[in-house]
């Protein structure tokens, strides 16, 4: 897809992969809207930030209505990147926290994708990128809620691509290994590896997928650090 002068929406835009993606897409002369609960520190004439908890359907609907009011372009790229986690034993995970993780990591894909698919069908072109994780392929002890959501993202993505490909819409699922972001900051007791992926490296790979030829459909991509080191 040729990206210049097209509109992209990135969720979880304030940090990590989302922030790196916004910066790269702006370098490609895209118009970019970032959705996040905290400010996205980008100053650029083609960037708009909207405060939004993507796990809340009403907030998502309001945000996409604002996008339509402010920007006279169809949305042709959506990056469902927002994600949260909790590190706890399965039986000790509070139900409220469990539901919140599913709201942000899984339900947001429904809320945001429903808002952009009509534009993409009209344009007969579009690309939705859903960010899963290596944790969506293999269960990790004390990380059950997060793993469950990321397994769900993979299944949802596969069903979406099969439904939408006939309309010229691509759906890709990205499975990064550990990425050096703020994700781990609030995971009490979790020790992350060193020599892990950098957010900009992952963002560059996603950008390359967005720029593929119209008949090229990358459905699932696993990305790992070559030689991560354990702390301690």
Residues 30, 50: Cα–Cα separation, whole Å? 17
Name 11's bridge partners.
Answer: 35
Q: Which two tokens stand for residue 189?
A: 């007791």
111 given a catalytic annotation: no
Residues 100, 159: Cα–Cα separation, whole Å? 23
Q: Rg for the chain (alpha carbons), in Å?
A: 17
Exactly one of 102, 111, 146, 167 is catalytic; name it.
146
Residues 202, 75: Cα–Cα separation, whole Å? 22
Length of the chain: 232
Residues 180, 196: Cα–Cα separation, whole Å? 6
The residues assigned a catalytic role are 146
């Amino acid at each position: 897809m040729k990206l210049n002068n097209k509109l992209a929406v990135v969720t979880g835009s304030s940090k990590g992969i989302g922030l790196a993606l916004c910066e790269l897409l702006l370098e490609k002369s895209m118009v970019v809207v970032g959705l996040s609960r905290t400010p996205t520190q980008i100053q650029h004439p083609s960037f708009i930030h909207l405060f939004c908890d993507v796990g809340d359907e009403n907030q998502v609907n309001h945000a996409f209505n604002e996008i339509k009011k402010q920007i006279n372009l169809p949305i042709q790229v959506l990056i469902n990147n927002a994600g949260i986690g909790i590190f706890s034993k399965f039986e000790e995970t509070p139900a409220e926290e469990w539901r919140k993780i599913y709201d942000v990591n899984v339900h947001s894909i429904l809320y945001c994708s429903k808002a952009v698919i009509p534009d993409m069908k009209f344009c007969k072109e579009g690309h939705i990128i859903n960010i899963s994780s290596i944790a969506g392929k293999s269960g990790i002890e004390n990380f059950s809620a997060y793993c469950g959501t990321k397994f769900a993202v993979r299944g949802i993505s596969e069903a979406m691509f099969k439904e939408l490909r006939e309309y010229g819409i691509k759906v890709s699922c990205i499975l990064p290994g550990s990425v050096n972001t703020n994700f781990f900051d609030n995971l009490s007791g979790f020790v992350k590896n060193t020599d892990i992926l950098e957010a900009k490296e992952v963002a560059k790979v996603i950008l390359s997928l967005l720029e593929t030829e119209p008949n090229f459909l990358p459905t699932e991509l696993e990305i790992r650090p070559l030689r991560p080191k354990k702390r301690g």
